[in-house]
């Protein structure tokens, strides 16, 4: 009786630091399950995001349109991604990560399906803009959710391996394209690619949990947080108040806060890094198969070029994550950026039609460096910005990077037209030289893990 009375009269704890509790505790089954759900969301994001690159050569041939005519369709999708990235970040910091992630997946899944009904390039451009809104919104929401569920010692590896699911999705899109496009055509390709995310969104509605660090800022949802933390093996029955352990006077979701309290320098160099990296990456995502067919490769072999690029990115991201865990982010990320430039420029000395196998291997090596770097940049965002503005920070950097991606829709086509493979590779290599310099100038890099 005495013991029971003692338990019942335990005084409520004044504060429970959610961030500290997560960082200092183990990696529970619920956290691992949430990580897998977020990673799979990024897979379907990458799948739908890169479908257009595989389909462009076939659509151009069927409709008899030029690369320049298709540039607007590519640009509209990337413009939608930029707006989606920025808007989703602000909304997710206000309304939560889960609803934004689910809504974005439903949006890009449904609109990708509609592309299969498009009668002309203009219709594709309009539809692709709305698909881009969802594609751009999903990645920052999913990566922030991952970062906020994972203990600090696993966080960098978890975020990078989650983000690497974007090129993994692109690689799967390439494998699907090789099977579907020659037999069933590009319309069926979009029907299938758009349906998969809609089904997965239903899975997320049922099983995905909201970020505990976000819930800590919402006193009206503390009972939900209490249940969540209990399932993550924390004793919170008598907690009176939850905090996320990061006291910050920042206004929730304010882009201006990214330039305050000493963050202006890192934000500026980070944005430039994203800009140049996405200029290079989306030049590949949108135009690599088209460049290879222009140089004389078959459509099937040209599609394998982008698949090899994405496959290299998957391997490179894991290697880069391991290097960052061991040495911190400054050295590995600068090296990865420099090697992205070197591999692109060295490919100028390999004949596309004379040595297609060597060229495809070279594209895989280039993808190993540049795509992995994009993954590491997003992990660096999660490190630089505090919880209140973390999604806004990641989304704003991605949105600025999307400006580089939008430029790629015109620059890639222009380079192919003006100078073929050589000019195209100059664009890739030159972009990454600037990115390497910018990454080296970021001050608040991730430190090595003990």
Reference 44, options 210, 200, 204; nearest CA is: 200
Half-sphere exposure of 8 (CA within 13 A, CB side): 5
CATH code, residues 16-441: 1.20.1250.20
User: What is the structure's pLDDT at 435?
Assistant: 96
User: What is the structure's pLDDT at 12?
Assistant: 52
Which phi and psi (to 5°) does residue 16 adopt? -125, 115
Reference 170, options 254, 81, 288; nearest CA is: 288
Q: pTM higher than 0.85, yes or no?
A: no
User: Given phi > 0 = left and psi -120 to 50 = alpha, else beta, which region is 245?
Assistant: left
Residue that has been written with the tokens 């009904």 in this structure: 117
In this structure, what token pair is assigned to residue 434?
């600037």
Distance between CA atoms of residues 422 and 424, nearest Å: 5
Distance between CA atoms of residues 110 and 202, nearest Å: 13
Distance between CA atoms of residues 424 and 410, nearest Å: 12
Output b/e per residue, 213-240; b: 16+ Cβ within 10 A. Answer: bbbbbeeebbeebbebbeebebebeebe
Q: What is the pLDDT along the chain (450 residues), one digit of tens a residue?
A: 444 443 444 445 567 888 888 888 889 999 999 999 999 999 999 999 999 999 999 999 899 988 888 888 899 998 998 888 878 877 888 889 999 999 999 999 999 999 999 999 999 999 999 999 999 899 889 988 998 899 988 887 888 788 889 989 999 999 999 999 999 999 999 999 999 999 999 999 999 999 998 898 888 888 888 888 888 888 887 777 888 765 443 345 578 888 888 889 999 999 999 999 999 999 999 899 999 999 988 888 888 999 999 999 889 988 988 898 889 899 999 999 999 999 999 999 998 989 999 999 999 999 999 988 887 887 788 788 886 777 678 778 877 888 898 899 899 989 998 999 999 999 999 999 999 999 999 998 988 875
Reference 308, options 351, 354, 356; nearest CA is: 356
Distance between CA atoms of residues 339 and 333, nearest Å: 10
Note whether 297 and 359 are within 8 A (CB).
no
User: What is the structure's pLDDT at 162?
Assistant: 87
Distance between CA atoms of residues 22 and 27, nearest Å: 9
**All structural domains of the chain with their residue ranges:** 16-441
Distance between CA atoms of residues 101 and 107, nearest Å: 10
Q: List Cβ<8 Å contacts ≥24 apart for 352-357.
A: 352/292, 352/295, 352/296, 352/297, 352/421, 353/295, 353/296, 353/297, 356/297, 356/301
Give me the helix-helix angle, 299-327 and 264-294, nearest 10°: 150
User: What is the structure's pLDDT at 14?
Assistant: 64
Distance between CA atoms of residues 33 and 142, nearest Å: 13
Note whether 189 and 48 are within 8 A (CB).
no
Reference 50, options 298, 305, 393; nearest CA is: 305
Note whether 308 and 363 are within 8 A (CB).
yes
3-state secondary structure of 239: strand
3-state secondary structure of 246: coil
Element (H, E) at 327: helix 299-327
User: What is the structure's pLDDT at 248?
Assistant: 43
């Amino acid at each position: 009786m005495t013991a029971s009375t003692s338990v019942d009269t335990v005084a409520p704890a004044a504060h429970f630091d959610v961030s500290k509790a997560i960082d200092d505790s183990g990696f529970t089954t619920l956290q691992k399950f949430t990580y897998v759900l977020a990673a799979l969301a990024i897979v379907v994001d990458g799948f739908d995001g890169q479908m257009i690159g595989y389909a462009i050569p076939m659509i151009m041939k069927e409709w008899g349109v030029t690369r320049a005519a298709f540039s607007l369709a590519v640009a509209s999708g990337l413009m939608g991604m930029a707006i989606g990235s920025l808007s989703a970040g602000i909304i997710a910091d206000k309304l939560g990560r889960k609803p934004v992630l689910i809504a974005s997946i439903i949006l890009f899944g449904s609109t990708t399906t509609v592309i299969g009904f498009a009668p002309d390039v203009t219709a594709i451009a309009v539809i692709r803009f709305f698909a881009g809104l969802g594609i751009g919104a999903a990645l920052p929401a999913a990566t922030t959710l991952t970062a906020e569920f994972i203990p600090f010692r696993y966080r960098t590896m978890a975020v990078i391996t989650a983000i690497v699911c974007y090129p993994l999705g692109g690689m799967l899109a390439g494998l699907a394209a090789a099977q579907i496009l020659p037999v069933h055509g590009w319309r069926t390709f979009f029907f299938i690619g758009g349906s998969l995310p809609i089904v997965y969104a239903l899975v997320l509605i049922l099983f995905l949990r909201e970020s505990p660090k976000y819930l800590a800022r919402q006193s009206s949802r503390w009972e939900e947080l209490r249940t969540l933390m209990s399932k993550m093996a924390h004793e919170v029955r008598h907690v009176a108040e939850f905090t996320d352990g990061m006291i910050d006077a920042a206004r929730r979701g304010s882009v201006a806060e990214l330039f305050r309290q000493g963050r202006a320098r890192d934000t500026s160099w980070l944005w430039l890094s994203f800009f140049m990296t996405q200029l290079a990456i989306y030049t590949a995502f949108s135009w690599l198969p088209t460049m290879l067919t222009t140089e004389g490769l078959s459509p099937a072999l040209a599609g394998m070029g982008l698949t090899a690029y994405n496959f290299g990115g998957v391997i490179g991201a894991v290697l880069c994550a391991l290097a960052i865990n061991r040495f911190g982010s400054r050295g590995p990320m600068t090296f990865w950026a420099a090697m992205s430039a070197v591999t692109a420029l060295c490919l100028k000395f390999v004949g596309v039609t004379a040595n297609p196998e060597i060229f495809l291997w070279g594209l895989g090596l280039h993808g190993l460096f540049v795509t992995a770097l994009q993954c590491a940049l997003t992990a660096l965002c999660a490190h630089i910005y505090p919880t209140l503005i973390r999604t806004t920070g990641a989304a704003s950097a991605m949105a600025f990077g999307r400006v580089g991606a939008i430029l790629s829709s015109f620059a890639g086509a222009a380079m192919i037209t003006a100078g073929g493979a050589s000019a195209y590779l100059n664009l890739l290599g030159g972009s990454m030289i600037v990115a390497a310099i910018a990454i080296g100038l970021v001050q608040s890099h991730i430190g090595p893990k003990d």
